[in-house]
Amino acid sequence: MIVIGFGTGGIKSNVSPMVAEQYGRYRPFVRKLKNGTEVVVDRELTVQSIFNWFYWAINVGGLSAIATTELESNVDFWAAYLLPTLMCFFCLVAFVLGRKKYVIVKPNGSIIVKSYRVIVAGIHNYRKAKAENCLVMDEEGKPVGWMDYAKPSVSQDVSHDWTDKFVDELRTAVRSCKIFCAYPFFWLGYNQISNNLISQAGQMNTGSVPNDIMQNIDPLCIIILIPIFDRLIFPAFRRMGLELRPITRITIGFVFSALAMAYSAIIQHVIYTKGPYFDAAGDGDNGFNDISAGIQVPAYVLVALSEIFASVTGLEYAYKRAPESMKSIVMSVFLFTNAGGSILGFCFNSISANPHLVKNFAIISGLMGGVTVIFFFLFKHYDNREAQELKNNLVYGKEGDAVSALTSEN
């Protein structure tokens, strides 16, 4: 497990920024469509589309769980582990063979230590200036932020090995990471599909299908829904002037997550009211209750919708709002929230079994609902800030790039 953690941690924090970096255009450009309309291709929207399809590809790979489950059931565990091992080998070969065609951003070394020193210097210099009553004012006559005191131009300390630009980039990264504080609760709900929802399926009649196959409904839904949202729904909203900006999309995703858990609680209640095992179905040698596992499908659809709005947008936001020198570290912070969700899951161990599963799903739904409200009111102004940068209605071009009638570069 430790080796897997190191491997996935290293890959996930770098692969998604690298995928987005393959799109080399950084400034808007004019394109004439087949109908003669001239539009401006917008990088921001193109990156959003890239992350949609990147997440789509992830879930295509996630369908391998169907094959590994069947191999484990009909052959043995070694066969189930052999399949992903071979896939990793072929991926590595393909990656190495194509290395000369990739856009590679040169590494700048670790910025963690430098960031720590900037924060310490900012706090120290700010406290010193406050104690001496010599706070620095900006052009509007307002006191500058505490992090500004780490800037060489403010502190007049030429010994610093960082620039004013680096301090500004660090502040941007910290501001971007604030929204990630809500994600552990989102992952808490999402992680139910790999544990309690599997157990729930085992308490119902799944026919000849193993209950742990049910979780693959989630990637199947994502594979179907992402092209619909990317090519039809999101562009339709833009044409109507109803741009769904990041905070709005994340909020909608959180709402779907809360609804998924609420629906799961209702299903669990219905299971407990059915015989022959009632609230002891699946325990020990007990079988399943007289109810079809098909009623679980809407829960997975809701989870898939929550991912399209919250998880994909989180990846996109971590990339787009991070400074060039900090994209991997900001992406790492976003992915680290998944660990927070797992830690929160330990708090629910005592009610993650019969006859308490209704409480488990209901409490998670309530938590997610409360977090959603708080999140939206705390960060909705982030969307307003972005709206000032991208003011015009957006449309999509025939060649796959996201475009706008007129827009400004972020």
pLDDT tier, 29 (very low <50, low <70, confident <90, very high otherwise): low
User: What pLDDT is attached to residue 249?
Assistant: 96
53 in Cβ contact with 61 (< 8 Å)? no
pLDDT tier, 400 (very low <50, low <70, confident <90, very high otherwise): very low
What token pair was written down for 365? 């739904």
Residue 348 has pLDDT above 80, yes or no: yes
Residue at 28: amino acid letter: P
368 in Cβ contact with 189 (< 8 Å)? yes
Higher-pLDDT residue of 277 and 138 is 277
Highest mean pLDDT among 14-18, 100-104, 286-290: 286-290
Whether residue 276 has a cis bond before it, omega within 30° of 0: yes
pLDDT tier, 154 (very low <50, low <70, confident <90, very high otherwise): confident
Q: Could you read off the pLDDT of 295-322 as tens digits, one per residue?
A: 999 999 999 999 999 999 999 999 988 8
User: What pLDDT is attached to residue 402?
Assistant: 46
Percent of the chain with pLDDT over 70: 89
pTM tops 0.85: yes
User: What pLDDT is attached to residue 258?
Assistant: 98
Highest mean pLDDT among 22-26, 63-67, 398-402: 63-67
d(CA 73, CA 82): 14
Q: For 58-71, what is the mean pLDDT? A: 87
Residue 27 has pLDDT above 80, yes or no: no
User: What pLDDT is attached to residue 108?
Assistant: 67
Q: Strands 394-396, 38-41: parallel, antiparallel or unpaired by DSSP? A: unpaired
d(CA 91, CA 88): 5
User: What pLDDT is attached to residue 219?
Assistant: 95
The full DSSP string for 105-173 is: PPP----HHHHHHHHHHHHHHHHHHHHTT---B-TTSPBPPGGGGGSHHHH--TT-SS-HHHHHHHHHH
User: What pLDDT is attached to residue 399?
Assistant: 42
Q: For 121-133, what is the mean pLDDT? A: 89
User: What pLDDT is attached to residue 68?
Assistant: 87
d(CA 335, CA 329): 10
Q: For 78-85, what is the mean pLDDT? A: 90
Region class of 396: left (phi > 0), else alpha (psi between -120 and 50), else beta? beta
User: What pLDDT is attached to residue 158?
Assistant: 56
Q: Could you read off the pLDDT of 168-185 as tens digits, one per residue?
A: 888 888 888 999 999 999
User: What pLDDT is attached to residue 135?
Assistant: 85
Residue 268 burial class via C-beta count within 10 angstroms: exposed 0-12, middle 13-18, buried 19 and up = buried
Q: Whose CA is closest to 20, among 42, 49, 60, 57?
A: 49
Q: What's the whole-number average pLDDT of the chain? A: 86
Percent of the chain with pLDDT over 90: 46
User: What pLDDT is attached to residue 407?
Assistant: 34
Higher-pLDDT residue of 2 and 287 is 287
184 in Cβ contact with 252 (< 8 Å)? no
User: What pLDDT is attached to residue 184?
Assistant: 97
